[in-house]
Amino acid sequence: MSAPQQKLEKMESVLEKYIPEDELKEVKRVLYGLNRGKPVAKLPITKEAQDLATKYNFEIVASKIEAEPEQLRPPRIVRMGIIQNSIAAPTTDPVLDQYLAIESKIEKMIDAAGAMGVNVLCLQETWHMPFAFCTRERYPWVEFAESASNGRSVQFIQRMARKYNMVIVSPILERDDVHGSTIHNTAVVVGNNGNIIGKSRKNHIPRTGDFNESTYYMESELGHPVFHTVFGKIGINICYGRHHNLNWLAYGLNGAEIVFNPSATVGELSEPMWGVEARNASMTNNYYVGSINRVGTEHFPNEFTSGNGKPAHKDFGHFYGSSYFSSPDNCRTESSSRVLDGLNIAEVDLNLCQQVKDKWNFQMTGRYSMYADFLTQYVKPDYKPQIVVDPAMK
Amino acid sequence: MSAPQQKLEKMESVLEKYIPEDELKEVKRVLYGLNRGKPVAKLPITKEAQDLATKYNFEIVASKIEAEPEQLRPPRIVRMGIIQNSIAAPTTDPVLDQYLAIESKIEKMIDAAGAMGVNVLCLQETWHMPFAFCTRERYPWVEFAESASNGRSVQFIQRMARKYNMVIVSPILERDDVHGSTIHNTAVVVGNNGNIIGKSRKNHIPRTGDFNESTYYMESELGHPVFHTVFGKIGINICYGRHHNLNWLAYGLNGAEIVFNPSATVGELSEPMWGVEARNASMTNNYYVGSINRVGTEHFPNEFTSGNGKPAHKDFGHFYGSSYFSSPDNCRTESSSRVLDGLNIAEVDLNLCQQVKDKWNFQMTGRYSMYADFLTQYVKPDYKPQIVVDPAMK
């Protein structure tokens, strides 16, 4: 817990600790936005949920985001939850033991979500395993992969979904036995009846540094599905897809009201981007975003290099957690911790999405035909960029 | 100066005033990012420039952003400047007097930019006039409009460009006599020899609240031109276009290394978005962004309404300044003041753009063909969104 990136437990705590109330209000207005003219409200945490958190050493934060009343539509209040977790057993333990240790931890956290009345929950990217792709080793890591229709973790999530009448998005490493036993980075969407509604896959695969995932799985060919559940329309933009504005846009144009971004990312690479990209997506596409990052440092048995000239090592840095929600009206919620497991909850009114679209008109003014033409031209091998050279240079 | 939105003079000042050094370092790392592993450095301000700022009551802030040395390309060091200003005479004064008062103020600020060795400068949106579009009145406001090839302000900018060997992007209200005397929201790009390289127009026009600009001018049909100058490749995304990720993308794909976003926006509407959207554009498209917002409150002679059910009034709130630069490596510079006129300067190495592209691979992994197809389908009247309905709901 002494690495520089772990000095900061949580941005909000530092701001609240030092800045006087009057100025803090202004700082938070600019950094976190307002909901209906006021700071985002806290949602009370039930005793049952807090007791679980205390007993099992995770943090719960909970917020409430409101919409305006409408005349013809009732409010559509939904409680969303996102869970960030560290792994629960050494990466040298047998695969099944590692999985079961994480499952046990997640079960308590879903119990707490249930005790808070969460309707829609999303877990972190490949939550059921260490993020071992940095190693470039196949075994034992691919043994964590499982069927998206009846894998071990899928069945566990189905049980939890039924138990709490909860839609659960479960991002896993998938093995697709129907298609050549290939591996995929997949989010399984389980309905509140425990039924499997469908799956979505990662659209953009990183090919940089320790993110060697392109050696494990390919880009999704499943498009940008939006899952219409009883608790709203949900899209899943997995991890590196958050750097691609077109990816966010496609979920929005397909009607998403909530987009989850289950991720695994470390401080040195991405932390200054973490509070920016998802919020930008939320405010320009006018849907809620739940951003989830795993937490902690994962040590692997064998050393590996990172393609950056530095010596081989056995971990790739601290996953800084900091999961949070962005709102379509450009406010955001408190972060989860940078160092602790966490359940972050937001009670929202889904009507806010359309209300903000009606107010800002980004979709009406989007000129999508122009950009369809632009991209169609751009991808041609003989594309000529629209460059105007200063005649004085010629 | 007593309105709530003017309480905060500058975000950075509050953070620096209250947060102890050790924790401040972490807060700034997360909120402002690092450049080559260190906080963005300050650039010394010359005595001549500071004297002008003191005498004429504007603020100068200056930063330095570095790239890695390369073997085959020398560094391409460029000093960029952006200017935010309030109007300089009451909006009831004759149009020419109002213009000349602003010109006189801007002249001193460009002198300071010259004294700082700025190579590429951009002014704010329609810098030569009050942002009077909220009134929906035609006269006298359209009398500020002028030719993009030989208007009064254009000639002034040409003189200043020659004087300081500076590329200057000058966003003005344009009257196009060749095309039906129509009005446009235009940025004129003046080369360092004082020659006019070309012009770019606003691609997305707001149609909301006090932003009644769609009654004055239409969306640009000039595409997404990038101007290749001796000091780098420059695009201009005017104001409301910053909410449109495709607009930012098109400038990037056309090769921009610097994109200016001359704007006019007020606190209640957009301030929490101001630090997010431009940075997102910069970090996902890997170019520098100079974000410029005017400053101060502008009072108009006749009352107007804002389409929000509130009583008529004569101003539309405080333009909060806060101009700043975003870097392709995801750090950003200090803001200009929320209340004072300001010149914000960043010395950068343009090589950083390609270096970050090479590191992150966002362009390589962009899957633009897929999105060209997606948008081409989306704009069809019979488009069927990719929605998967929970079978349990049917």
Measured between its terminal Cα atoms, the distance across chain B in Å is 58
A chain contacts of residue B364, beta-carbon cutoff 8 Å: 207
Contact B184, B174 (CB under 8 A): yes
- Alpha-helical runs (H) found in chain B: 11-18, 21-32, 47-56, 95-115, 152-164, 245-253, 267-285, 351-360, 368-378
pLDDT value at position B132? Answer: 97
Interface test with B, best of A6, A204, A286, A367 (most B CBs within 10 A): A367
Looking at the complex, does the CB of residue A390 fall below 8 Å from at least one CB of chain B?
yes
Distance CA A319, CA A338 (A): 8
Q: What percent of chain A has pLDDT over 90?
A: 94
The chain B residue lying nearest A308, using CA atoms, is: B359
Q: Cα dist. A272→A187, B19, B31 in Å?
A: 26, 19, 6
Closest in A209, A276, A378 to B279, CB measured: A276
Closest in A203, A243, A272 to B362, CB measured: A243
Which are the contacts of B384, defined by CB distance < 8 A and separation ≥ 6? Answer: none
Looking at the complex, does the CB of residue A97 fall below 8 Å from at least one CB of chain B?
no
Write a three-state SS string for A19-63: CCHHHHHHHHHHHHCCECCECCEECCCCHHHHHHHHHHCEEEEEE
Burial A165-194 (b: 16+ CB within 10 A, else e): bbbbbbbbbbbbeeeeeebbbbbbbbbbbb
Mean per-residue pLDDT, B175-195: 98
> Between vectors from CA B219 to CA B214 and to CA B223, what angle results, nearest 5°?
165
Return phi, psi of residue B95, to 5°.
Answer: -50, -45
Task: For tokens 């997606």, name the residue.
Answer: B374
Q: Do B367 and A204 make contact, defined as CB atoms within 8 angstroms?
A: yes
In chain B, positions 202-231, which contact chain A (CB-CB < 8 Å)? 203-209, 219, 223-230
Q: Is the pLDDT of residue A319 over 90?
A: yes
Q: What are the CB-based long-range contacts (under 8 Å, 24+) for B136-139?
A: B136/B212, B136/B215, B136/B304, B137/B302
A chain contacts of residue B277, beta-carbon cutoff 8 Å: 280, 283-284
The chain A residue lying nearest B308, using CA atoms, is: A359
Q: What percent of chain B has pLDDT over 70?
A: 98
Distance CA B224, CA B252 (A): 9
Contact B107, B154 (CB under 8 A): no
Closest in A209, A249, A273 to B330, CB measured: A273
At B88-144, the pLDDT tens digits run: 999 999 999 999 999 999 999 999 999 999 999 999 999 999 999 999 999 999 999
Q: Do B208 and A360 make contact, defined as CB atoms within 8 angstroms?
A: yes
Q: Do B193 and A392 make contact, defined as CB atoms within 8 angstroms?
A: yes
Lowest mean pLDDT among A217-221, B192-196, B209-213: B209-213
Q: Is B202 a catalytic residue?
A: yes
The chain A residue lying nearest B197, using CA atoms, is: A390
At B234-249, the pLDDT tens digits run: 999 999 999 999 999 9
Measured between its terminal Cα atoms, the distance across chain A in Å is 58
Q: Do A272 and B27 make contact, defined as CB atoms within 8 angstroms?
A: no
pLDDT value at position B1? Answer: 36
At A39-58, the pLDDT tens digits run: 999 999 999 999 999 999 99
pLDDT value at position B209? Answer: 85
Looking at the complex, does the CB of residue A392 fall below 8 Å from at least one CB of chain B?
yes
Q: Do B365 and A7 make contact, defined as CB atoms within 8 angstroms?
A: no
Q: How far is B275 from chain A (nearest CA, A)?
A: 8
The Cβ-side half-sphere exposure at B300, using a 13 Å CA radius, reads 23
Interface test with B, best of A2, A9, A11, A18 (most B CBs within 10 A): A18
Structure tokens at A228: 């219409």
Looking at the complex, does the CB of residue B138 fall below 8 Å from at least one CB of chain A?
no
Structure tokens at A264: 């695994």
Q: How many beta-carbon pairs under 8 angstroms link A with B?
A: 286
The chain B residue lying nearest A245, using CA atoms, is: B245
In chain B, positions 261-300, which contact chain A (CB-CB < 8 Å)? 271-277, 279-280, 283-284
Burial A330-367 (b: 16+ CB within 10 A, else e): bbbbbbbbbbbbbbbbbbbbbbbbebbbebbbbeebbb
Structure tokens at B132: 């009077």
Mean per-residue pLDDT, A306-317: 92
Burial A217-243 (b: 16+ CB within 10 A, else e): bebbeeebbbbbbebbbbbbbbbbbbb
A chain contacts of residue B34, beta-carbon cutoff 8 Å: 272
Does the predicted interface ipTM exceed a cut of 0.90? yes
Nearest residue to B328 (alpha-carbon basis) of A36, A149, A167, A243: A243
Looking at the complex, does the CB of residue B362 fall below 8 Å from at least one CB of chain A?
yes
pLDDT value at position A210? Answer: 85
Q: Do B34 and A255 make contact, defined as CB atoms within 8 angstroms?
A: no
What is the enclosing helix (H) or strand (E) of B200?
strand B196-201
Q: What percent of chain A has pLDDT over 70?
A: 98
Mean per-residue pLDDT, A178-187: 98
Q: How confident is the model at residue B204 (pLDDT cuts 50, 70, 90)?
A: very high
Task: For tokens 């060749």, name the residue.
Answer: B178
At B353-394, the pLDDT tens digits run: 999 999 999 999 999 999 999 999 999 999 999 999 999 987
pLDDT value at position A268? Answer: 77
Looking at the complex, does the CB of residue A302 fall below 8 Å from at least one CB of chain B?
no
Contact B199, B222 (CB under 8 A): yes
Name the burial class of residue B141, with classes exposed (0-12), middle (13-18) and buried (19+) by CB atoms within 10 angstroms of its CB: buried
At B50-60, the pLDDT tens digits run: 999 999 999 99
Q: Is the pLDDT of residue B314 over 50?
A: yes
Residues of A annotated catalytic, as ranges? 125, 202, 239
In chain B, positions 14-73, which contact chain A (CB-CB < 8 Å)? 14-15, 18-20, 22-23, 26-27, 29-34
Looking at the complex, does the CB of residue B163 fall below 8 Å from at least one CB of chain A?
no
Q: Is the pLDDT of residue B268 over 80?
A: no
pLDDT value at position A1? Answer: 36
Q: Do A19 and B19 make contact, defined as CB atoms within 8 angstroms?
A: yes
Average pLDDT across chain A, whole number: 96
Looking at the complex, does the CB of residue A135 fall below 8 Å from at least one CB of chain B?
no
Q: Is the pLDDT of residue A6 over 80?
A: no
A chain contacts of residue B392, beta-carbon cutoff 8 Å: 191-193, 195, 230
B chain contacts of residue A191, beta-carbon cutoff 8 Å: 390, 392
> Between vectors from CA A223 to CA A217 and to CA A227, what angle results, nearest 5°?
110
pLDDT value at position A301? Answer: 97
The chain B residue lying nearest A29, using CA atoms, is: B272
Q: How far is B26 from chain A (nearest CA, A)?
A: 7
Task: For tokens 């000095």, name the residue.
Answer: A7
Q: Do A195 and B391 make contact, defined as CB atoms within 8 angstroms?
A: yes
Burial B66-96 (b: 16+ CB within 10 A, else e): bbeeeeeeeeeebbbbbbbbbbbbebeeeee
Task: For tokens 């697709």, name the residue.
Answer: A176
Closest in A30, A330, A379 to B368, CB measured: A379
Q: Do B272 and A330 make contact, defined as CB atoms within 8 angstroms?
A: yes
Which domains does chain A possess? Answer: 4-393 (3.60.110.10)
B chain contacts of residue A248, beta-carbon cutoff 8 Å: 245
Q: Is the pLDDT of residue A209 over 90?
A: no
The chain A residue lying nearest B386, using CA atoms, is: A225
Q: Cα dist. A211→A219, A275, B123, B329 in Å?
A: 14, 20, 41, 18
